[in-house]
Structure 1
Amino acid sequence: MILKALFLIVVFAPFLAHSVDPVFNDDVLGLIVFKAGLVDPESKLASWNEDAESPCSWDGVKCDPLSHRVIELALDGLSLSGHIGRGLLRVQSLQVLSLSNNRLNGTILPGLTRLGTLQVIDLSGNNLTGSIPGEMFRQCGSLRSVSFARNSLTGRIPDSLSSCQTLVAVNFSSNQLSGELPLGIWYTRGLQSIDLSDNWLEGTIPEGIQNLYDARTVNLRGNRFTGWIPKDVGGCYVLKSLDLSGNFLSGTLPESMRRLVSCTSIRLGRNLLTGEVPTWIGGLTSLESLDLSGNTFFGRIPESVGNLQQLKELNLSMNHFTGILPGSIANCIDISVLDVSQNMLTGDFPIRVFRPDSAVAADSYGNLEVLDVSSNAFSGEFPASIGTLSNLRLLNVSANSIFGSIPTSIRALNRTRFLDLSKNKLNGTIPHEIGGAVSLEELRLEKNFLSGKIPTEIEKCSSLTSLILSDNNLTGPVPLALSKLSNLEYVDLSSNHLSGSLPKELTNLSHLLYFNISHNNLEGELPVGGFFNTIPHSSVSGNPALCGSVVNDSCPSVHPKPIVLNPNSSSDSGGGSSSSPNRHHKGIILSISALIAIGAAASIAIGVVAVTVLNIHVRSSMSRAAPPLTFSGGGGEEFSCSPSAGGPNYGKLVMFSGDANFVAGAHALLNKDSEIGRGGFGVVYRTVLRDGRSVAIKKLTCSGLIKSQEDFEREVKTLGKIRHRNVVSLEGYYYDPSLQLLIYEYVPSGSLHRLIHDASTDNCLTWRQRFNIILGMAKGLAYLHQMNVVHYNLKSTNILLDGSGEPRLGDFGLARLLPALDRCVLSSKIQSALGYMAPEFACRTVKITEKCDVYGFGILVLEVVTGRRPVEYMEDDVAVLCDVVRSALDEGRIEECVDERLRNSFPAEEVIPVVKLGLICASQVPSNRPDMSEVVNILELIQCPSEGQEDIE
């Protein structure tokens, strides 16, 4: 069958656009040729037989019952790969072509729309590349719906799109399309749905959108559009959904929006919009979702928002709203998500929401699943009627001034997964009824005035992964109940008044990644085993009575009382005369502990002698037969330092290019005098090749986790192919079962960390130098991600600067060399990259993704702008850079965070967007972080206006 298909391709492919011999059925021929270009790993197309007279019974094929011609080809989600072949052009009556959610690659087949009958094209969810053919829409026939979503398409949206008046739905989302929108795009008057989200589109959104008379959905989310929201947007009278979030739009809400009375969803979050929210917003009574988050809106939240009685989601977070939360919100009885966090709202805690005597209390907020009022200035007592919100999944009231006790009605929150009451003024005890919140996964009560014991009923919260109770006045022991919470990953009980000893059963917590009990009154021996074997000293400090190896204080042993031999007693067992006190021998008093000490000393002495003899023997053996290094040059030809090369006892040194010989010889590779740095993965040395090039050699310190030699060499050779001006090049490697070296190019000007934080450096980086460093880091990281390499160990000490000040990313991709990251390795890396590690590293499966790098990059951006370390330890507090900058941004004083060494010589119009970008990259939620390719484009967009101004000046 395969041979026949290949024969058909060879013979008939050149003539597919022309007529063929009528003895061949066009549809059979076209589909068989199309199939020949595919890879079908699951044999989903097994029914496709070239000997068939008709394809109408084939899987995925639908024919017209009268003409028996193929009118529909639906092969969605069949794991097909390969390219879309020209054989489809023979299927002349095709109306629907749906190949979504496969693995097809190559480009979009030009000329598809020559099939004048084609109405639907769906190629979404594949790996297609290249641009969208412009000819596709010049003669689009009867085409009504086209989707190229979730591919890797590049280039511009073709201008010819606006000439296809038959189009009803267009979806080009989640690609890499760039450039501006075609000027005539709004004149495709039949469009009902247009989705261009998550691309790199830029420029302003052109006026004329009101011409989309029938538009139901307009989605331009996640691009780089600037300027104002089109003033005529209100002309789309039947619009149901408008999503312009995640752009750089500025200005106020256009007046015409008040006419969008049919709209059910308006999403404008994460822009630069400003002004007061107009009262007419309450007239959009069809709204079910309103998202204005992440802008700079100010003033009061209008009372008219209570008119939106269909509202299910209201997100006004991360703005500058002041005043009280309108009581009219209680009228929105169907609301499920209410987020007003990170504003400047004041007044009493919005207790009317929970007031039992309210006229709407019985039904109000019965559907509420998310309530986030954190990081405001609310006060008042925590409501006892909180338990009426029985459907809550998330409750966050942190960082306010709420007082009172935690009510016993907390037991009714049996569906709540995230409960954060931290950073308030709560007092009293943690109620035993907390055990009723059985679905809790994260409980945060830190920085309050809570007292009493940790209730043992906490063990009923079996899903708990994070328990943060630090900075309170808790007393009593650490309960044994904690050891029964098998899913625990993060525990912080620090800065309380806990006493007693730690339950040894805590070692059974196999998922534990962080356990902080510092600054309490705990005593006794630390548990031995599991996480506690590697617990950091900082997590147990401030407990003077604790003992164990971690606190460098051995625990006292319990010994039996000494046995005393009386020197005055007779040695005679009979009843003879008494001993004389003037005997010539002295009395002997020996205890068991003394005897043990004498025996131990003797054993140690013997051991020292034995080790010394063994060392002499080993050194002698090594000097007689030290295994030489095997060298390999750039051409792959191996040669040896000794007459006999290769073999299992010989290491192998390979250089990807250039000379493999070193000036000082192989024995000097790891000379202590040439050490230039240490990192989480190993020690770095500098040496010189015979061709005069300096190289940096990293000796890996995790040999016990290194893959086999075959896997190691494969991964290293992959890393060796990476060449980019912002990435340190890997020049070669050395492999021995007990020693692995990576050989990098030497970058002379030191690390970014030294340049920013070393007080001995005289040079202060200008803003332009800092911006170029940020942009260079972004480009290097985007390139690594393009090559499917996750850096994993991103921090300022791993950013090196070359002679021209260009940043170079070093220490990348080393996680590829490890078969898995166990808790020991993870813990050490978290300590070495404190502040840069993404929160998802706490996940039990430790899934390393590119989004982890994006988080670290965001922290680096803030570090470069502020000149501060990611985490700074003060006398009685810890300052987390990300939190400090976010608070400053919320309070409108972001310029105070800029490195004071710049002395106000920086453009605020660049600094503020860069800081916002850094915070977005450092989002706690991975899906909220942009891709690095998007970051590069955003930075270039931020830079362009200033460069233009400089040119004018």
Structure 2
Amino acid sequence: MKNSHNFHHSTLLLTFLLSFSYLLSCLGNNDIAIQLNDDVLGLILFKSDLHDPFSHLSSWNEDDANPCSWQYIKCNPQNTRVIEVSLDGLSLSGKLGRGFEKLQHLVSLSLSHNNLSGNISPFLTLSNTLQKLNLSHNSFHGEIPISFINMSSIRLLDLSHNSFNGQIHETFFENCFMLHQLSLARNLFEGEIPMSLSKCSLLNSLNLSNNLFSGNVDFNKLWSLKRLRNIDLSNNGLSGNLNDGISYIHNLKELFLQNNQFSGSLPNDIGLCIHLSKLDLSTNHFSGELPESIKRLSSLSYLKVSNNVLFGEFPQWIGNLTSLEHLEISNNEFSGLIPYSIGELRSLSYLSVSNNKLVGNIPLSIVSCTKLCAMKFRGNGFNGTIPEGLFGLGVEEMDFSYNEFTGKIPAGFNRLLETLTKLDLSDNHLEGNVPAEIGLLSKLRYLNLSWNDFHSRMPPEFGLLQNLRVLDLRNSALFGSIPEGTCDSGNLDVLQLDGNSLKGPIPEEIGNCSSLYLLSLSHNNLTGSIPKSMSKLNKLKILKLEFNELSGELPMELGMLQNLLAVNISHNNLTGRLPTSTIFQNLDKSSLEGNIGLCSPLLKGPCMMNVPKPLVLDPHANNNQMDPQRNESTMSSSFHHHRFLSISAIIAISASFVIVLGVIAITLLNVSVRRKLSFVDNALESMCSSSSRSGAPTTGKLILFDSQSSPEWIANPDSLLNKATQIGEGVFGTVYKVPLGSSSQGRMVAIKKLVTSNILQYQEDFDREVRILGKARHPNLIALKGYYWTPQLQLLVSEFAPNGNLQSKLHERLPSNPPLSWPIRFKILLGTAKGLAHLHHSFRPSIIHYNIKPSNILLDENFNPKLSDFGLARLLTKVEKHVMSNRFQSALGYVAPELACQSLRVNEKCDVYGFGVMILELVTGRRPVEYGEDNVLILNDHVRVLLEHGNVLDCVDPNLMNEYPEDEVLPVLKLAMVCTSQIPSSRPSMAEVVQILQVIKTPVPQRMEVY
């Protein structure tokens, strides 16, 4: 009612203002009065389209003679006309109407950091006096209004951080003679960059980053803009060569071209841009050597050329760049030695030369770089000892892994005690004792000393590392026992001690590792039993104990570890039964073999169980000690009793005999029943031979739902698939791309060839279920076009999505293709949620997707998501065990936990869980379960831990290059945590998910869309 009242009020207000304006124009030629009321009228019209939750615009009163006293408004004191409207960051929502057309003297309009949305009218015409227009950080979409082209007076145009899309017309910049600053960053613009941009001769700041621009860039025209100071074309799909001529831009300070497809050599004259301070050319296809002229850039503070194919020796002139703070040349083919002159970089804080072909010693001079916070030398051919002085710097991250370093770990840590968070010395030839001082590194989170030759005991001081999350000491020639205090901190996530010579028992204190999700102690000499305290590790996912000398029975309490995904206890001396949980009962032979006493049908040999002997009571035992005479007389009686079976033994044998007889009887009865059922089935089949069901076509027919007539199927149904290209395979069948028609140029469709096992037996049943799925029409669902059915072959014909699936864009992207931007990722999230909500809430009973994962989220040409494979479980007579098993294997990490330990009950909440995992994938760019050399990462647990510690933004996909709105990403991650709740009832419905996502993007409850 309140919203209806406000709408009615706004309508009356607009009617009044328009009538009042017309009346004034008829009364006379009082220009000042008309003009003043034009400003009031325009602003009130604009306000009427807004939602102002905090009443920031309460001073805007339509009864005022002019708006000069209104908050956020500035007027020209000479003529009292409005010249500036500044409404930045006021949480306003609504649309941008045409009220501003009334403000004919407007010079500056800034509406940034609000929640304004919708299309901007293509007919919106702003004042030709406008010099600044800032609409950044809103939710506008659609194309830029054509009228903006004619704003020849504009000096600043900022439309960044919106969802504008489409191509920018080639003539857009024809009248940009006064334009100084242009930012279209973080939108969805596509196509080529208009080269009419070269007419903006006064342009000094250009930012077109994080869009979908593609095509070649004519850098000759770009270099002609001699006043440019900042250029950012990063995170697009642009290509072309950087021609010489960049030196024409004398005042260039920043050049960002990362994450594109630029190629060729770098311009030789780049060193003539003497004011250049930041240069990022990373993740492209640049080749050749670094131009020597770069050594002239004395102001350069940031240089990043990683992820290219640059080669040549490490530049000897690097010491000339005395202002350098960030140097990153990783993932190239640089060779040779690091020059001694690197010590001249006294301002250097970040150094990464990883994954090149560098050799030799690390120069001692690098100790002079006292501001270093991160140094990464991974994956080269460095040798010699690690300079001790490096451990005296206040570094936060040190990575010397995958090299050929020898000698000992330097003992003196000095300033590292307060700063170091990551230390990776793995895959070298280090030896000697592991320094006890490591236990004093109070901020250390990651420690990897694996694959070295220490021949040392495992230091007990590791238990002092209160913040340590990952401890990897694999294959480091360690001996002795595992220190009892290793888990004193209780914060370890990963503990890997494989491939050493550790002996003795697993300490009972292992139960203190309450955060542990990976425990790997394999290939050691550990003895004794597996401690019961291990059952306290409620977060444990992976347990590896193979190739030790562990003995005794497995604690039954281990069955309580509901989160276990993988266990290997092979090649020990374990005996007895396995815990009753699903994971232990489903272990394969390779995880159990080598334990001759374990009770499992997969293993040969005896089953050794420590079962206590039955207690046989002697009825005379109570009096034996009291009556010695009777004791003597009963000895012969006792002997006589032992010659025959005890009463309990007789009872046991009798019971066993009865059970065997019962089993035989039941088996015979089953055989009889099966024969009768078989007879009934055959009789029914013969009776139905003349029925409509038996009259189903044997040759098959292609049924198309959207056609007036259904063309008869060709003689050989397989001939259609002969023209097909396989594009996917899943639990329910194989997917092909097929031109529908007689020629290869026919309309493209997708055809799924279903697995024949367990499919509905009759065409009528199959037709009914497929037609239900065919009615599920929604912009975010792949439309089911029709089907083909015979008892031997079943095909589903559906819409074809030209842009592939989310899996290929997210996890299988070529380096030459730009990563998905945040606006596209959010679009995919919201669209997928709407599609699922339609399936769940528009049908009774609900249609369950059953198989949410990125490979089933297809993308059209505009990156709109379309769910495929929904509801296919309806086509099965029953959900067989092997189908569910394949489902688990093909969608590891997406399956709701309740399905792993209960009878198969797939419902809407299972889809919600899968959607929550997909949110995490889109935000982090990582897979649900990742098996690395150093650890195993379970994505939802990883994000949950980061969220609990307040640093969840650390997990955001690095490909986003920190170009994302935190106020969207953070609540999206929290939504994912709710969706992946272990308790199904705690998960929201998909309709609620849609509403939450819409609030995150545009927090206006009154504007909720219908899913």
Q: Same fold (TM over 0.5)?
A: yes
SS in 2 for 1:210: helix
Counterpart check, 1:351 vs 2:404: no
Once the 2 structures are TM-superposed, how far is the Cα of residue 380 of structure 1 from its aligned partner?
A: 1.1
Tell me the residue number matched to 2:980: none
Once the 2 structures are TM-superposed, how far is the Cα of residue 743 of structure 1 from its aligned partner?
A: 8.4
SS in 2 for 1:114: coil
Once the 2 structures are TM-superposed, how far is the Cα of residue 374 of structure 1 from its aligned partner?
A: 0.6
Q: Distance in 2 between matches of 1:456 and 1:61?
A: 56
Tell me the residue number matched to 1:598: 661
Q: Distance in 2 between matches of 1:716 and 1:271?
A: 49
Do the aligned partners of 1:61 and 1:72 also contact (CA within 8 Å) in 2? no
Do the aligned partners of 1:534 and 1:824 also contact (CA within 8 Å) in 2? no
Superposed, which structure 2 residues align to 1:260-275 within 5 Å? 260-275=321-336
Do the aligned partners of 1:245 and 1:271 also contact (CA within 8 Å) in 2? yes
User: Could you give the per-residue CA deviations for residues 185-232 of structure 1, whole angstroms, max 9, x where no partner exists?
Assistant: 243121111100010000000101111111110000000000001111
| Letter of the 2:253 counterpart | Q
Once the 2 structures are TM-superposed, how far is the Cα of residue 116 of structure 1 from its aligned partner?
A: 3.9
| Letter of the 1:238 counterpart | S
Counterpart check, 1:504 vs 2:504: no
| Letter of the 2:347 counterpart | S
383-392 or 87-96: which moved more?
87-96
Q: Distance in 2 between matches of 1:185 and 1:28?
A: 50
| Letter of the 1:50 counterpart | G
Q: Distance in 1 between matches of 2:391 and 2:718?
A: 79
User: Could you give the per-residue CA deviations for residues 684-719 of structure 1, whole angstroms, max 9, x where no partner exists?
Assistant: 899xx99999x9944076989x99857965999999
Tell me the residue number matched to 2:361: 300
Q: Distance in 1 between matches of 2:284 and 2:301?
A: 21
User: Could you give the per-residue CA deviations for residues 371-421 of structure 1, whole angstroms, max 9, x where no partner exists?
Assistant: 111111111112222111111111111111122222221112111111111
Do the aligned partners of 1:249 and 1:273 also contact (CA within 8 Å) in 2? yes
User: Could you give the per-residue CA deviations for residues 727-747 of structure 1, whole angstroms, max 9, x where no partner exists?
Assistant: xxx998558999975689xxx
1:206 to 267, 273, 280: 267
User: Could you give the per-residue CA deviations for residues 109-166 of structure 1, whole angstroms, max 9, x where no partner exists?
Assistant: 543473444332222121110111111133333x222211111111122332112122
| Letter of the 1:523 counterpart | T
Residue 853 to residue 50, structure 1, CA distance change in 2 (3 Å): closer
| Letter of the 2:432 counterpart | G
1:276 to 331, 337, 340: 337
1:632 to 695, 702, 709: 702
Q: Distance in 2 between matches of 1:318 and 1:203?
A: 25
Tell me the residue number matched to 2:436: 384
Tell me the residue number matched to 2:631: none
Tell me the residue number matched to 1:419: 471
Q: Distance in 1 between matches of 2:615 and 2:467?
A: 61
SS in 1 for 2:575: strand
Once the 2 structures are TM-superposed, how far is the Cα of residue 60 of structure 1 from its aligned partner?
A: 3.8
Counterpart check, 1:74 vs 2:134: yes
| Letter of the 2:492 counterpart | L
Tell me the residue number matched to 2:60: none
| Letter of the 2:462 counterpart | I
Q: Distance in 2 between matches of 1:153 and 1:486?
A: 48
Q: Distance in 2 between matches of 1:61 and 1:215?
A: 30
1:660 to 694, 710, 713: 713
Once the 2 structures are TM-superposed, how far is the Cα of residue 778 of structure 1 from its aligned partner?
A: 8.9
Q: Distance in 1 between matches of 2:295 and 2:252?
A: 16
Counterpart check, 1:190 vs 2:251: yes
Q: Distance in 1 between matches of 2:817 and 2:853?
A: 13
SS in 1 for 2:255: strand
TM, length-normalised to structure 1: 0.64
Tell me the residue number matched to 1:515: 567
Superposed, which structure 2 residues align to 1:513-592 within 5 Å? 513-548=565-600, 551=603, 591-592=654-655
232-241 or 175-184: which moved more?
175-184
Counterpart check, 1:609 vs 2:672: yes
Tell me the residue number matched to 1:866: none
Tell me the residue number matched to 1:461: 513
| Letter of the 1:610 counterpart | V
SS in 2 for 1:596: helix
Superposed, which structure 2 residues align to 1:172-187 within 5 Å? 172-187=233-248
Once the 2 structures are TM-superposed, how far is the Cα of residue 364 of structure 1 from its aligned partner?
A: 3.8
Q: Distance in 2 between matches of 1:146 and 1:822?
A: 59
Do the aligned partners of 1:720 and 1:732 also contact (CA within 8 Å) in 2? no
| Letter of the 1:152 counterpart | L
Q: Distance in 2 between matches of 1:43 and 1:708?
A: 47
Say which structure, 1 or 2, has more relative contact order (CA 8 Å, 6+ apart): 2
Superposed, which structure 2 residues align to 1:677-696 within 5 Å? 681=731
User: Could you give the per-residue CA deviations for residues 817-849 of structure 1, whole angstroms, max 9, x where no partner exists?
Assistant: 789999997974786899xxxxxxx99975499
Tell me the residue number matched to 1:154: 214
User: Could you give the per-residue CA deviations for residues 168-193 of structure 1, whole angstroms, max 9, x where no partner exists?
Assistant: 11111110001111432243121111
Q: Distance in 1 between matches of 2:44 and 2:244?
A: 38
2:462 to 405, 410, 421: 410
Once the 2 structures are TM-superposed, how far is the Cα of residue 509 of structure 1 from its aligned partner?
A: 3.0
User: Could you give the per-residue CA deviations for residues 535-579 of structure 1, whole angstroms, max 9, x where no partner exists?
Assistant: 33322222222224565899799999999xxxxxxxxxxxxxxxx
Counterpart check, 1:85 vs 2:145: yes
Counterpart check, 1:699 vs 2:758: no
Q: How many residues align?
A: 718
Do the aligned partners of 1:632 and 1:638 also contact (CA within 8 Å) in 2? no
Do the aligned partners of 1:30 and 1:91 also contact (CA within 8 Å) in 2? no
SS in 2 for 1:450: strand
Counterpart check, 1:50 vs 2:99: yes
| Letter of the 1:603 counterpart | I
Residue 381 to residue 60, structure 1, CA distance change in 2 (3 Å): closer
User: Could you give the per-residue CA deviations for residues 884-905 of structure 1, whole angstroms, max 9, x where no partner exists?
Assistant: xxxxxxxxxxxxxxxxxxxxxx
Do the aligned partners of 1:30 and 1:90 also contact (CA within 8 Å) in 2? no
| Letter of the 1:617 counterpart | V
| Letter of the 2:136 counterpart | D
Once the 2 structures are TM-superposed, how far is the Cα of residue 682 of structure 1 from its aligned partner?
A: 6.0
Tell me the residue number matched to 1:486: 538
Residue 440 to residue 402, structure 1, CA distance change in 2 (3 Å): same
Do the aligned partners of 1:240 and 1:265 also contact (CA within 8 Å) in 2? yes
Structure 1 unaligned spans of 5+:
5-20, 37-41, 355-360, 564-586, 640-653, 670-675, 723-729, 745-776, 795-811, 835-841, 860-879, 884-924, 932-953
TM, length-normalised to structure 2: 0.60
Do the aligned partners of 2:554 and 2:574 also contact (CA within 8 Å) in 1? yes
Tell me the residue number matched to 2:381: 320
Once the 2 structures are TM-superposed, how far is the Cα of residue 522 of structure 1 from its aligned partner?
A: 1.9
Residue 793 to residue 174, structure 1, CA distance change in 2 (3 Å): closer
User: Could you give the per-residue CA deviations for residues 749-801 of structure 1, whole angstroms, max 9, x where no partner exists?
Assistant: xxxxxxxxxxxxxxxxxxxxxxxxxxxx999998999999999899xxxxxxx
SS in 1 for 2:213: coil
Tell me the residue number matched to 2:79: none
Residue 420 to residue 709, structure 1, CA distance change in 2 (3 Å): farther
Do the aligned partners of 2:553 and 2:577 also contact (CA within 8 Å) in 1? yes
Residue 926 to residue 588, structure 1, CA distance change in 2 (3 Å): closer
SS in 2 for 1:177: strand
| Letter of the 2:162 counterpart | N
Do the aligned partners of 2:924 and 2:956 also contact (CA within 8 Å) in 1? no
Structure 2 unaligned spans of 5+:
1-6, 15-33, 50-90, 115-126, 617-649, 745-750, 761-765, 799-811, 833-850, 856-865, 893-899, 901-912, 934-954, 962-1011
| Letter of the 1:660 counterpart | W
Do the aligned partners of 2:192 and 2:213 also contact (CA within 8 Å) in 1? yes
Tell me the residue number matched to 2:450: 398
User: Could you give the per-residue CA deviations for residues 269-310 of structure 1, whole angstroms, max 9, x where no partner exists?
Assistant: 000111111111111111111111110001111111111111
1:289 to 339, 347, 350: 350
Question: RMSD of aligned C-alpha atoms?
Answer: 5.7
| Letter of the 2:552 counterpart | G
| Letter of the 2:655 counterpart | I
Residue 418 to residue 735, structure 1, CA distance change in 2 (3 Å): farther
Residue 778 to residue 502, structure 1, CA distance change in 2 (3 Å): same
Q: Distance in 1 between matches of 2:550 and 2:481?
A: 14
- % of aligned pairs identical? 28
Once the 2 structures are TM-superposed, how far is the Cα of residue 50 of structure 1 from its aligned partner?
A: 2.5
Once the 2 structures are TM-superposed, how far is the Cα of residue 620 of structure 1 from its aligned partner?
A: 4.0
Tell me the residue number matched to 1:338: 398
Do the aligned partners of 1:106 and 1:127 also contact (CA within 8 Å) in 2? yes
Q: Distance in 2 between matches of 1:183 and 1:217?
A: 18
Do the aligned partners of 1:155 and 1:177 also contact (CA within 8 Å) in 2? yes
SS in 2 for 1:233: helix
